[in-house]
Every structure is written in structure tokens, then in C-alpha cells.
Structure 1
């Protein structure tokens, strides 16, 4: 994660799109990535749903490091369509949390889903 300021806003008034490899330490961003994993919380814990978003899907033999972004939806136990393999466009504020860039309650758009066979 580079120590950079957020990029300037795009022409539509929102943040400019950045690759996950260029996320600022803090700031509003628009980015795209693949859901690597999701975490469901037990019913006796505070409701939130989280996912790890990566810059690419790792394949066998791929030794390059993955860039990860934790995404957390507060007050929800599940977000429809958010599952491993899904490609998302996310928009929100990035902040460091427990050593990982994290985005809370982002706006999102599902771009594609991995087909299950």
C-alpha cells in the first residue's frame, strides 16, 4: 500500500478509480477487485459482514503478492451477491485497521460473478 494522497475526483464528481496496488493510506477511492473470501459473524456477536478483496485471482504457480482490501458492512449479516469470485467496483473511504486497508459500508456494484459448475 503506497503512502499517497487520494487521487483527484473523476469528471462525474466521484473519486478517480485507482488500482488496489495504489490505494492511499487514507482517503476516498473508487477501485475494482475480486472477492477472495467472506466472513460471517455468529448470531451472538455484533452484526457485520466482511469480505477480503484482492487485485487478482491467484492461480496455481502464481507467486506474486496479492494486494488486499478488507471491506466491512456494519449492521448486516450478509450482503446479497457478495461471495468469493465476484468482481466488484467499490467506492468509499479507505482507512488502515489492524494493518490492512479497510473500507466501511462502501457503495458497490457487482461487475461479474464466477459461474459455479
Structure 2
């Protein structure tokens, strides 16, 4: 019985720390002209700010593509730079602002070749 209660406490702490991180990210990245990932409309020009969770090189159709997951505390969007193997300053944990049009690819929200600014 003691093991189950310790496990519950550990999971509870982990969940509350993740919620706190999301809350902090929402506070940090909100600003004028910037929408949250959750509220960003598809196929319209948007500006998003967040932290890159992952950055991977994943070729698409024989073309190199740098792919990153942008998280702002409300949701995630996959950012893809086609024809790029790497971009200086782009890495996991980095704060970034991107602008472009969000689309859907295989059920995932994506932003191709966005303009970006490192934060």
C-alpha cells in the first residue's frame, strides 16, 4: 500500500510541475500581436512564440528538412524549414517567435518555412 501512495504522490508532483511550466510559458510568451498555438487559426497569417521542445533532421521527398516542435503552454505546432540541415541558434529549449500560415499534414498542425526570431 505504501508503494502505491508514493507513486501517486510522485505522479501528482510531476503533473503539477508540468502544469506550472505550461502556466509560466503562457505568461512569458503572450504579447501584442501574438496568438497562442491553441487559438491560432489554420490558413491565416499568425505570429506564435514558444519554446522548441525537439529539433530533428527529417528529409521530406529527398529534400533535407529541419523539423522542430514549438510549445507555448497551450499546445504544439510542428515547424518545418525545407532545404535546411541546421540553423544557427535553433535547438531544443530555445525561445523563438515564428510567423506564417498553419496548415495540416497527416493530422498534425505544421508551419512551413516560417519567418523566425530567436528570443
TM-score normalised per structure 1? 0.67
Within the candidate set 94, 105, 108, 2:102 is matched to 94
Q: Which residue of 2 aligns with 1:41?
A: 58
Q: CA deviation at 1:34?
A: 0.6
Q: CA deviation at 1:41?
A: 3.3
The yes-or-no answer on 1:80 pairing with 2:97 is no
- Give runs of aligned pairs for residues 1-117 of structure 1, distance below 5 A: 16-41=33-58, 45-56=62-73, 67-111=75-119
Gaps of 5+ in 1: 1-15, 57-65, 112-117
**Count of aligned pairs:** 85
Please state whether the residue corresponding to 1:24 is helix, strand or coil.
Answer: coil
Gaps of 5+ in 2: 1-32
Runs of 4+ in 1 over 6 A off after TM superposition: none
User: What value does the CA root-mean-square deviation take over the aligned residues?
Assistant: 1.5
Q: Deviations over 1:69-112 (max 9, x none)?
A: 0000011111111101001011111111111211111110110x
Which of 1 and 2 has greater Rg? 2
- Partners of 2:106 and 2:46 in 1: CA distance: 19
- Partners of 2:68 and 2:105 in 1: CA distance: 14
